[in-house]
Amino acid sequence: MGSGITKQPNINDAPNSSMRKQSTALSLKDKNTPGSILLLGLSSCGKTTICMILQRFEDGKEINEYVPQPPPTTAPCSRICHIGERVFEVKDCPGNHRLRTSWFCDLANIQAVVFAVDGYDRLRLPLCLNEIVRALGAPELKPLPFMILLTKQDLAGAITPTIFEGHFESFLAQNTIAKCGSKPYSTDRFCIKGCSAATPESVHTAMSWVLNET
Ligand SMILES: Nc1nc2c(ncn2[C@@H]2O[C@H](COP(=O)(O)OP(=O)(O)OP(=O)(O)O)[C@@H](O)[C@H]2O)c(=O)[nH]1
Ligand SMILES: [Mg+2]
């Protein structure tokens, strides 16, 4: 899709949250064994953007700058991110179809899964649903908390979490996993949320779900 972010005025925007160029990447070596989050999703759905927003604050200070158009991710990349008061290693996976085989290669220490869905990409919704079910079916990921995160909620016509839930439920109803009787996920460790890079607070709010689950 490659859509750029249109910054929408929002009363929740912090005065210092202007989008600027990212200059630094944090080193894993600087941190003490953070929890790990696996971040999956199709290409251009906004995974790296989410990471960059979560990387911006450390010890209450803005430390990274923001790239509105990050280049496509070409290999899984560990990024140290802040969610609430905690530090997580977020494994930012490539969404390109040729690179999705890398998603389940190294799942050691993964504590939660976030599957990002481009809310503005209705065309690839069926493909996305298939990939979500594939991720839910991975034995290593089954017991983990699983969040579906609808991105690009700032764009008019974006699929909201409520609309997505309807599509997801009917997809599951036609899917062989669901026909076996039970949901392919643990209902008390599953959620669907929305966010927008235009309002970074919405990313922090959505991601803070993992705090109670890990
Ligand atoms: N309008 C809008 N654009 C967004 C949002 N999040 C990301 N984008 C844009 O979507 C495009 C793709 O974002 P990325 O973060 O690179 O997507 P990705 O999921 O990491 O893509 P891959 O690395 O190819 O898997 C960029 O142009 C972003 O600026 C959002 O919330 N709203
Ligand atoms: Mg990326």
Domain CATH code at residue 177: 3.40.50.300
Residue 2 lies in a domain: no
Structural domains of the chain, count: 1
Cα–ligand 2 centroid distance for 95 (angstroms)? 7
| pLDDT tens column, 180-211 | 556 777 777 899 999 999 999 999 999 999 99
Asked if the model's pLDDT at residue 15 lies above 50, the reply is: no
What's the predicted TM-score (pTM) here? 0.84
- The radius of gyration computed from the CA coordinates of the chain, to the nearest angstrom, equals 16
In a domain, 188, yes or no: yes
Q: What is the mean pLDDT of the chain?
A: 82
The fraction of the chain above a pLDDT of 70, given in percent, is 75
| Ligand that lies nearest to the alpha carbon of residue 94, given by its number in the listed order | 1
Among all ligands shown, which has an atom nearest to the Cα of 206? 1
Is the pLDDT at 175 greater than 80? The verdict is: no
Residue 1 domain flag: no
For tokens 């990447």, what's the residue?
25
Strand partners, 62: 57
The pLDDT, as a whole number, for residue 34 is 75
Burial 106-137 (b: 16+ CB within 10 A, else e): ebeebbbbbbbbbbbbeebbeebbebbbebbe
* Span 158-173, pLDDT tens digits: 999 999 999 999 998 8
Ligand 2: distance of its center to the CA of 41 in Å?
9
pLDDT for the residue 66: 57
User: Comparing 2 with 156, which gets the higher pLDDT?
Assistant: 156
Domain range for 196 is 29-213
- pLDDT above 50: residue 49: yes
Give the ligand 1 atom nearest the CA of 93: 25
Ligand 1 pocket, 4 CB below 6 A? yes
Instruction: Inform me whether the pLDDT recorded for 3 exceeds 50.
Output: no
Residue 14, in any domain of the structure: no
Q: How confident is the model at residue 42 (pLDDT cuts 50, 70, 90)?
A: very high
Expressed in angstroms and rounded, the spacing between residue 145 Cα and the centre of ligand 1 is 24
